[in-house]
């Protein structure tokens, strides 16, 4: 009887070790990826209002340069281009958010992994686009 108990304990112990040794499953890895994607999104989402504020300011500057005289065409075009860049960054965030799927649906874990990898690339591009536009606006719109 003692031998059977010892064998059972050893089997249970080995089973526990094997399960622990397998590491995280793909679902856990996918959950971690979702968390990272949202973190990239959350880094710049609060700056959406700043994008629109800078866009409005750039358009106002363009109007001011136009009103001054006709020799400021380069400055007018620069401000209009900046306003367009800010608007495109703003829209890019909304486009990404509308297409991002929070549910796995009928996808298997490997398909979800591939989808999340694509989404990380997309949201990182949006993040960089927003940061670039904000940085450019910050330098060009200093009073």
pLDDT digits (tens, 9 = 90+) for 52-69: 999 999 999 999 988 887
Q: What is the pLDDT of residues 67-82, one digit of tens each?
A: 887 778 899 999 999 9
Compute φ and ψ for 103, nearest 5 degrees. -105, 145
Q: How far apart are CA 68 and CA 79, in angstroms?
A: 14
Q: Distance of alpha carbon 69 from its chain centroid, rounded?
A: 42
CB 60 within 8 A of CB 140: no
Paired tokens of 12: 């249970």
pLDDT of residue 105: 87
CB 58 within 8 A of CB 86: yes
pLDDT of residue 19: 55
Among 57, 60, 54, 62, residue whose Cα is nearest residue 133: 54
Helix (H, G, I), strand (E, B) or coil at 101: coil
Backbone CA torsion sign across 103, 106, 108, 114: negative
Paired tokens of 84: 């367009």
DSSP E strands in the chain: the ranges are: none
In the 8-state DSSP scheme, what is residue 69? -
Paired tokens of 57: 């300011």
Kindly tell me if the per-residue pLDDT of 20 is higher than 60: no
């Amino acid at each position: 009887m003692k031998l059977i108990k010892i064998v059972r304990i050893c089997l249970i112990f080995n089973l526990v070790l094997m399960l622990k040794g397998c590491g995280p499953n793909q679902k856990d890895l996918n959950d971690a990826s979702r968390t990272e994607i949202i973190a990239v999104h959350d880094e710049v989402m609060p700056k959406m209002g700043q994008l629109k504020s800078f866009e409005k300011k750039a358009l106002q500057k363009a109007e001011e340069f136009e009103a001054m005289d006709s020799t400021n065409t380069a400055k007018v075009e620069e401000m209009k281009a900046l306003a367009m860049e800010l608007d495109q960054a703003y829209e890019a965030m909304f486009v990404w958010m509308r297409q991002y799927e929070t549910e796995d649906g009928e996808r298997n874990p490997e398909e979800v992994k591939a989808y999340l990898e694509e989404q990380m690339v997309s949201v990182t591009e949006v993040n960089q686009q927003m940061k670039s536009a904000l940085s450019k606006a910050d330098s060009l719109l200093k009073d």
